[in-house]
Structure 1
């Protein structure tokens, strides 16, 4: 169970789909799927919102063999990338799978990583097959430069409308309008598939192995499991957490804690502060989505560090307040309560 590919091609294969890899909160998608059939080596990734597959045609020496697939965990991708960088582009790498390991054998050194064979990866062939076949009824199939598409990554939620093959792609958002011209076919930017029919035929071998019933409602694409993690760097998920916390605190506040003043006050403060934080985040996002994303990411880093007390103390001093007085007042209040209880 092995395939051979040169270092440069493996590097390109991984780089093409790396941006589509899921976060650590969805273990099955947090990595790159290496999928081998009798004709191609594929690299596949999905973050639940996008899915992408890149392929490399195997040489005659790699055939025939039984298809196999393993997911490279996201934690190992940097090590693999750095290992590939140590060799010449033409250097051959043999990739083999055995039980719970993937072995990369190079001209000078080898790299072995542990993988999980129990994680279910979505039927990516089926998901893409369904949408490619649905798109076969359309007529427009312009060629677009992906580096230009990246210029529209401005933090907005975009809507797009394809007009015709030789006409621009229109992009709309609140207070934003843009267009991207298609690549001109004059030999300068060659495009292998001149029509959708050509492209469809070129991928029939791959997509035919996918289920016609597969779609993005696969359970693996379900909401991320946060049971093992506490912090998110995503604005929308942060907003959801704040709203969820506010409601939970209100429900607890109106529940059994009514008869316990300390618990009631704690739930009340939690609900109030979660709602305030959500309103502030929502206002910031509407004013400047990129600033909101930066604040959420930086705050997530603070929470991961766990030194909230130290950060809050420094922030209070920087703002001109007196956290030492707050602390002294807090200790005095505790002493009064202890004396009263005695």
Structure 2
């Protein structure tokens, strides 16, 4: 029984589920269950209060579907081993008896699996939660109160999760891209909240109505503040920036062909804008496929940099850190502005900055 996927994706399966592992008092839940079918490799963990299931479409299953539990005691070493591998390296997981062997181009690792005890029927549990849409007697039900400490365990699952709340004191369902999970609510006596939905809403209105319906004298509407300080196109999600980049590519291409040709500068600007937007889209697409979490982080950080407006300073510092001589670029541009076109920048202008260059600049 063998399955293959890359090191990054196997590490991410573990990252998204290890926070839900049960304690040592429940040996059968004290680890991560790995299951493979013809399409996906699944990682499953539960502590009875939360349940997390992550999946990834593997590169191929050689043999019959399998299910084995990786014990919690072995997971730290396994996760450290995976971080030492290039993310794109293929990792082949082979199960033989109670042994799990992981083989990569740069090394191998062997683990003993805890499969003596039967794991819970996580599929059946989730099916039951999904089907729960109303109370059997048709009565209105209370909103469940969720423990935020347990909610935080889903932080590694995705940048966004959609949540459905089933009626009664049953579990909340959470879903993301190739991820599904559930969380049980707190008991009413523990939560301190009223027991009925109507009481919950009435209590919330009582606490917040005055604040939410009043405005301080002389303040701007929120929409006005956002319009003034938000940089157009500075999306903070991968989906948003992907849309912006594709739109910009199409717009620049259209403007390029609609130019009358009398302005070489305008033609060059449209061409540069389209090429840059398309290149950024392709790089972001590749990053998102390789590491969705890192892609989301980079997009958010970039949006903050765009909001600051200090792109020139950022670029100068980045060029210097990369070993180039950005001061020579500035000098060349200034000379060209004052005296007309200058000689092309030589190869030495892009050489790493020497100590003397640094002192001069």
TM-score (norm 2): 0.41
